Structure 1
């Protein structure tokens, strides 16, 4: 039942599992999501938080037997829902960026070449007479 419970997360993450024995017969099961090598998306830090369940071995077995209705199943379903929402938000953000870039590109006017001026700056006007000083007015 543990692997069946973890299947929804295995599509997005590589999972590590840690079992620690505690006092008075308590056991802590920690599922550690990790980024898939060569995976397509970079997970959010909230997605990579470990899922931890502490109880007696018999209680953990009973919860695992309940499948999706058990505590671990509900934690995993909640984590999968979070990952789905984050992925939808990523896709919406990328689509909005692409649309904004396309709109900005369309709105940017193409520079028109300036017509060549008849006279170069610093040269006297065409009607200037050599014996008269140049006037600014």
Structure 2
């Protein structure tokens, strides 16, 4: 029943398990999703967070037997939805980035280059007024 319950996770991740016996016949099963070998995208930390189930062996078996309606099944559905949303957001961001680059490229190509003109003439030196005196500064009035 364990493997059948984990098939949706196995489709997306490589899984590691940790099984620890505790006091009073309790057991903790930890499922650790990892990036599968050869996978193109790197999973987000929220996608690869370990899943722990604690209880007696009979309680864990009963929970796993519930399949998609059990806690593990519901958690897997939520994680799959989260992973799909993240993938959609990545795709939308990549599409927007490509569109922005294309728009910038089109704008750069559409901007006309200023025409090459003749060099600017330097203004003629200012001729001092006839009543100017060398010991006084020139007046604007």
Q: Give 1:55's aligned residue.
A: 55
Pick the structure with greater CA Rg: 2
Q: In 2 relative to 1, CA 90–118 (structure 1 residues): closer, same or farther, beyond 3 Å? A: closer
Under a length normalisation based on structure 1, what TM-score does the superposition of the two structures give? 0.79
RMSD: 2.1
Q: Give 2:12's aligned residue.
A: 12
SS at match of 1:72: helix
Determine whether 1:77 maps to 2:80: no
Q: Give 2:40's aligned residue.
A: 40
Paired residues in the alignment total 123
1:11 Cα deviation after fit: 2.1
Give me the whole-angstrom Cα distance separating, in 2, the residues matched to 1:62 and 1:118.
89
Give me the whole-angstrom Cα distance separating, in 1, the residues matched to 2:43 and 2:59.
31
Give me the whole-angstrom Cα distance separating, in 1, the residues matched to 2:104 and 2:31.
45
Q: Give 1:96's aligned residue.
A: 96
Give me the whole-angstrom Cα distance separating, in 1, the residues matched to 2:29 and 2:7.
16
Under a length normalisation based on structure 2, what TM-score does the superposition of the two structures give? 0.77
